[in-house]
């Protein structure tokens, strides 16, 4: 399990006999430990690329066939997984399924009926709207005239009529029961003009259905046809259900077996081949090398050779954090996947982000509200259908359901800290509830100027710590990559950050533990030490980064440390906004008038809801930003390649690997080709 670093990867090669190739590929698929790569040029110089065979093409054809059958049939419980001992057994099993023609005919008929049903429903809806027309609909169609049904508001209809010239010979018939609905007939040569006028006037036009009788008569016919279609579709569904009960378990198992074989065929293009041998290369987590070697030797009877491949390629990245920390990998992937040879920042993010979020929120009313929203998101948004359409659409536009769930999990510890700080500061939706109920006096109040100064200093030291930690990781990264000038530059960044921080404290005369006791910096015995650290750090930064980059870096260090004061700035903004909402709304409520009470409650409800939304977005976005920009910039490169192992889990077929990681038998073997 990787902590602070992605899993170490090793590139390996496997050289074996062609007789063992299918068995080795099968266990590699089921192990899901190896990302198979195209063979290196050095290996291809001794081998040739693999070529497809008729058997492999047959696998592709049958995989396509059974994927279509599985999609067409309604799913039913499959039961126990099935075992196919050889590839020949899979191909033989495909010949035992005789329902292709019937399923295809039923599916095509159902698709045709569905299309006809939709058209019938649209025609019924339209005929119901034009039921005010009592004559035969064929009278509205002629060689030189065309008719449409239009609907819009009264002003739009008037604008449309005014836009049509007399040469169009437009005739309108209005619906007496519904204003804004009408039938219009005009010359075919003016149809394009009508369409442009309707678009400009915001009038919706619909072509009339190709029926001859009156709307009332045709509605009877269409409704009867709709019932016939519905009955036939029910019969088709029942027949497909019967076929599914008989054949779906077999089809699902064969489909999965074919998909496994198809993946193996796709991998073959990356392999090299000799007359009787084959070779492959793959990235494998170093922790799993022993297991992979044991399985390959077992399945090949000791005839395969696994070896390390020297390479300068950048390995793929496999993050492997503990279960609780793993939920924060979502944010790191959203920003950029780390390279396999650099630090994995997930652990630090998992610790720091909730602290930042809770500190910027700092209210137990908001904390409980957002906590409940997070639990609602984790449980799959129960009852979301009762929300206004705008709300549902807005949520979907931000992030998918899985992303929302990951975000909710990540916010839970931050909400808990916000509740704890809110209780300590006595802030309940910006109101000192504990003081009013129990006379509680908060030791720290973000609205007291002295406490604000203290909180700003704390935020500054948090910034100093985060910037220092970023430089430490950057220094170690440069050292491990043998970039020694980079080591000097990062060390200089650390010294400059601490030097400028304490020189600044001396200048403003902050009293901290008796060390800084006066605003006269020259009288402080440590001032020259701080100034020396600052100057040495500046010189090291210039020496390591160069003059231009070093001077830019020193400005960046100062701005990044000060940037962490936004932790308190966002807290104060939320507190002040809540105070204003409560003051205005509460004042109206306490005024005693009915209108004032209603207006005050509306202001409190809308205002506090708005502040809750800000309480999610502002601490979340700004907390992540402080990590992504001010912290990551000291060491993080990103743009890593994700580790994509060959294989997929099995559900309906028996795996070649037992739960304890050993080889199960027998293993699939390809028939002679």
Residue-wise pLDDT tens digits, 86-104? 888 999 999 999 999 999 9
pLDDT at 459: 92
Of 229, 210, 218, 225, the C-alpha closest to 128 is 218
Q: Strand 204-207 relative to strand 305-308: parallel, antiparallel, unpaired?
A: unpaired
Taking CA atoms, 414 is separated from 357, 439, 486, 578, 619, in Å, by 5, 27, 35, 20, 10
List where CATH 3.30.70.2750 sits in the chain. Answer: 111-224
Residue-wise pLDDT tens digits, 175-186? 988 888 999 999
Report the share of the chain in percent with pLDDT over 70.
92
Contacts of 417 (CB under 8 A, 6+ apart): 354, 355, 357, 358, 359, 367
The predicted model gives 292-319 an average pLDDT of 92
Least confident interval from 118-122, 331-335, 364-368, 528-532:
528-532
Is pLDDT of 669 > 70?
no
pLDDT at 255: 95
Q: Which residue has the higher pLDDT, 50 or 262?
A: 262
Least confident interval from 3-12, 65-74, 442-451, 513-522:
513-522
Biggest alpha carbon–alpha carbon distance for the chain: 105
Residue-wise pLDDT tens digits, 196-234? 999 999 999 999 888 889 999 999 999 999 999 999 999
Contact 109, 101 (CB under 8 A): no
The predicted model gives 79-89 an average pLDDT of 89
Distance (Å, whole) CA 21 – CA 271: 10
Domain 111-224, CATH class in plain words:
alpha beta
pLDDT at 319: 93
The predicted model gives 257-283 an average pLDDT of 91
> What is 420-450 written as a DSSP string?
HHHHHHT-BTTB-HHHHHH----S--TTSHH
Is pLDDT of 522 > 60?
no
The predicted model gives 629-639 an average pLDDT of 92
Is pLDDT of 429 > 70?
yes
Q: Which residue has the higher pLDDT, 381 or 308?
A: 308
pLDDT at 511: 47
Highest-scoring range by mean pLDDT, 233-237, 606-610, 663-667:
233-237
Is pLDDT of 338 > 50?
yes
Highest-scoring range by mean pLDDT, 191-195, 509-513, 518-522:
191-195
Q: Strand 9-17 relative to strand 305-308: parallel, antiparallel, unpaired?
A: antiparallel
Least confident interval from 107-111, 426-430, 524-528:
524-528
Report the share of the chain in percent with pLDDT over 90.
58
pLDDT at 185: 92
The 3-state DSSP class for residue 595 equals helix
> What is 467-534 written as a DSSP string?
HHHHHHHHHHHHHHTT-HHHHHHHHHHHHHHHHHHHHHHHHHT--STTS---S-GGG-TTHHHHHHHH
Is pLDDT of 32 > 90?
yes
The predicted model gives 403-420 an average pLDDT of 91
Of 481, 364, 492, the C-alpha closest to 428 is 364
Residue whose token pair is 């939706």: 429
Is pLDDT of 1 > 70?
no
Mean pLDDT of the chain: 88
Range 215-232 burial, b when 16+ CB lie within 10 A, else e: beebbeebeeebeebeee
pLDDT at 218: 92
Distance (Å, whole) CA 225 – CA 332: 57
Give residue 517's pLDDT band: very low, low, confident or very high (50, 70, 90).
very low
Q: What is the pTM of this model?
A: 0.78
Is pLDDT of 164 > 70?
yes
The predicted model gives 569-578 an average pLDDT of 92
Sign of CA pseudo-dihedral 190, 196, 201, 203: positive
| Angular region, 202: left φ>0, alpha ψ -120 to 50, beta rest | left
């Amino acid at each position: 399990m990787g902590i602070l670093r992605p899993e170490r990867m090793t590139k390996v090669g496997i050289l074996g006999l062609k007789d063992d190739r299918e068995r080795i590929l099968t266990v590699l698929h089921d192990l899901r430990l190896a990302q198979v790569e195209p063979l290196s040029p050095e290996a291809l110089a001794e081998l040739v690329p693999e070529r497809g065979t008729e058997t492999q093409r047959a696998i592709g054809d049958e995989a396509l066939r059974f994927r279509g059958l599985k999609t067409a049939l309604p799913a039913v419980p499959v039961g126990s997984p099935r075992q196919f001992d050889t590839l020949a057994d899979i191909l033989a099993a495909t010949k035992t399924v005789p329902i292709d023609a019937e399923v295809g005919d039923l599916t095509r008929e159902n698709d045709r009926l569905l299309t006809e049903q939709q058209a019938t429903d649209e025609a019924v809806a339209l005929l119901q709207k034009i039921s005010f027309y009592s004559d035969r609909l064929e009278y509205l169609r002629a060689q030189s005239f065309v008719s449409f049904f239009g609907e819009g508001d009264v002003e739009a209809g008037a604008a449309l009529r005014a836009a049509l010239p007399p040469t169009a010979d437009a005739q309108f018939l209005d619906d007496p029961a519904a204003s804004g609905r009408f039938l219009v007939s005009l010359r075919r040569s003016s149809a394009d003009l009508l369409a442009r006028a309707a678009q400009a006037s915001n009038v919706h036009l619909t072509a009339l259905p190709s029926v001859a009788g009156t709307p009332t008569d045709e509605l009877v016919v269409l409704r009867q046809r709709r019932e016939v279609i519905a009955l036939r579709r029910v019969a088709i569904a029942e027949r497909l259900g019967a076929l599914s009960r008989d054949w779906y378990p077999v089809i699902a198992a064969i489909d999965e077996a074919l998909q496994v074989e198809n993946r193996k065929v796709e991998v073959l293009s990356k392999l090299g081949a000799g007359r009787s041998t084959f070779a492959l290369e793959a990235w494998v987590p170093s922790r799993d090398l022993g297991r992979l070697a044991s399985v390959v030797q077992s399945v090949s009877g000791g005839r395969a050779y696994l070896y390390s491949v020297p390479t300068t390629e950048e390995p793929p990245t496999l993050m492997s954090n503990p279960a609780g920390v793993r939920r924060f990998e979502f944010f790191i992937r959203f920003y950029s996947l780390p390279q396999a040879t650099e630090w994995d920042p997930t652990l630090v993010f998992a610790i720091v982000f909730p602290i930042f979020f809770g500190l910027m929120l700092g209210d137990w009313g908001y904390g409980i509200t957002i906590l409940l929203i997070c639990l609602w998101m984790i449980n799959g948004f129960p009852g979301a259908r009762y929300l206004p359409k705008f709300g549902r659409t807005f949520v979907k536009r931000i992030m998918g359901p899985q992303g929302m769930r990951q975000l909710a999990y990540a916010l839970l510890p931050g909400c808990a800290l916000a509740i704890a700080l809110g209780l300590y500061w006595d802030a309940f939706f910006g109101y000192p509830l504990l003081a009013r109920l129990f006379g509680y006096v908060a030791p720290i109040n973000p609205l007291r100027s002295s406490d604000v100064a203290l909180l700003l200093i704390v935020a500054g030291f948090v910034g100093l710590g985060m910037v220092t930690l970023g430089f430490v990781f950057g220094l170690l990264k440069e050292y491990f990559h043998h970039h020694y000038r980079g080591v000097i530059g990062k060390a200089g960044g650390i010294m400059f950050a601490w030097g400028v921080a304490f020189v600044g404290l001396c200048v403003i005369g902050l009293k901290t533990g008796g060390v800084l006791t006066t605003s006269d910096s020259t009288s402080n015995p440590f001032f020259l030490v701080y100034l020396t650290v600052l100057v040495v750090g500046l010189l090291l930064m210039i020496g390591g980064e160069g003059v231009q980059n070093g001077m830019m870096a020193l400005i960046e260090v100062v701005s990044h440390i000060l940037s962490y004061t936004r932790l308190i700035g966002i807290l104060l903004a939320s507190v002040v906004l809540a105070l204003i909402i409560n003051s205005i709304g509460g004042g109206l409520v306490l005024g005693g008038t009915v209108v004032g009470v209603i207006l005050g409650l509306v202001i409190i409800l809308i205002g506090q809801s708005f502040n809750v939304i800000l309480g999610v977005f502002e601490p979340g976005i700004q907390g992540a930003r402080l990590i992504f920009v001010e912290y990551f910039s000291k060491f993080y490169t990103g743009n890593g390649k994700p580790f994509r192992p060959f294989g997929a889990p099995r559900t309906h077929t028996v795996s070649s690997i037992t739960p304890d990681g050993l080889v199960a038998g027998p293993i699939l073997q390809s028939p002679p080709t």
